[in-house]
Structure 1
Amino acid sequence: MSPPPSQGGAAPAAPAPSATGPGCGTLDRVASLPVCVALGLGCDRGTPAETIAQAVAEALTQAAIRLGTPALEVTAAASITLKADEAGLLEVAAAAGWALHFYDAERLAGVTVPNPSATVRRYTGTPSVSEAAALLAAGTSLAADPGALLVEKHRLRGADGRNATVSIARMPR
């Protein structure tokens, strides 16, 4: 399996980066630097890596179109602690060179998101995994930056019927 199309490298060791990573910028300040983003990842148990990678690729494309640039750098990727052993997530992160950060349901539930889900809450204990994880990993919130969530909740149903969700948050400027 090839890694998702991004220019990203390994995520920083800190669980919630609070500033733009080295070499990252914003289009309005430094056009030649990539925009740094954090991915929030969710999936059904047993979702194949190929489905997750395709969902990531589609979400990164959406973010690039929204920003008007292909220069995105994934500097953080995160999910819920329930997925710490999820083979597909681990495979995608390893192939792309991302360290995955995991947050517990209580911490994720404390994040205000645009698309909370009763179904997700029933299975995980939080109404959001991908959106909340993306915002936490980016070290921001919708209150601090209403435009931080570049891709709210991109959902892909794989050929086997399993779902993957990806949200993308812009790192603070």
Structure 2
Amino acid sequence: MSLGSRRVALGLGCDRGTPEATIAQAVQEALAAAGLAPEQVAAGASITLKADEVGLLGFAEHFGLALTFYPPEVLATVPVPNPSETVRKYTGTPSVSEAAALLAAGTDMRQLLIEKHKLRGPDGRNATVSIALLP
């Protein structure tokens, strides 16, 4: 399927203190893996626990992306292909990036183009990006 002008939503997760550069690199890699251009990103989302995350907010500002933050109990209701008990232990939901992407896109997991792209930055902090196709 040609993704040409199709629009997508990003679901973003990261360790506390992840630098903006690591998040930006993870997003660039995920978009490239899906054959997408940055201009095709229509929405971005994460968990309410990250609403004050400096690197995430800086990335969104520089990318020109308005972020939606979902509470863990809402994210936990979304069926995802890669739930994680480790993520649940720390956040209260088995998925942040996949569930956030799907909620932001208003779709289901059949529309995930990138399930869970993970990047460990040079400082050891992790960023995770999921990409869902908007209907």
**Matches of 1:123 and 1:169, distance apart in 2:** 24
Structure ranking higher on relative contact order (CA contacts 8 Å, 6+ apart): 2
Q: Is the 8 A contact 1:79 1:129 kept in 2?
A: yes
Shift of 1:70: 4.7
Q: Which residue of 2 aligns with 1:115?
A: 82
Question: Which structure's residues are more often helix, by fraction?
Answer: 2
Residues 120-160 of structure 1 show CA distances to partners (whole Å, capped at 9, x for unaligned) of 00000000000000000000012xxx2x0000000000111
Percent identical residues: 67
CA RMSD of aligned residues (A): 1.6
Q: Is the 8 A contact 2:31 2:38 kept in 1?
A: no
Q: Which residue of 1 aligns with 2:7?
A: 36
SS of the counterpart of 2:7? strand
The answer to whether residue 62 in structure 2 is matched with residue 99 in structure 1 is no
**Matches of 1:96 and 1:54, distance apart in 2:** 12
**Matches of 1:71 and 1:122, distance apart in 2:** 32
Q: Which residue of 2 aligns with 1:141?
A: 108
Q: Is the 8 A contact 1:37 1:72 kept in 2?
A: no
Q: Is the 8 A contact 2:45 2:68 kept in 1?
A: yes
Matched residues, number: 135
**Matches of 2:59 and 2:19, distance apart in 1:** 9
SS of the counterpart of 1:111? coil
**Matches of 1:63 and 1:121, distance apart in 2:** 27
The answer to whether residue 109 in structure 2 is matched with residue 132 in structure 1 is no
Q: Which residue of 2 aligns with 1:85?
A: 52
Stretches (4+) displaced over 6 A? none
TM-score, structure 1 as length reference: 0.75
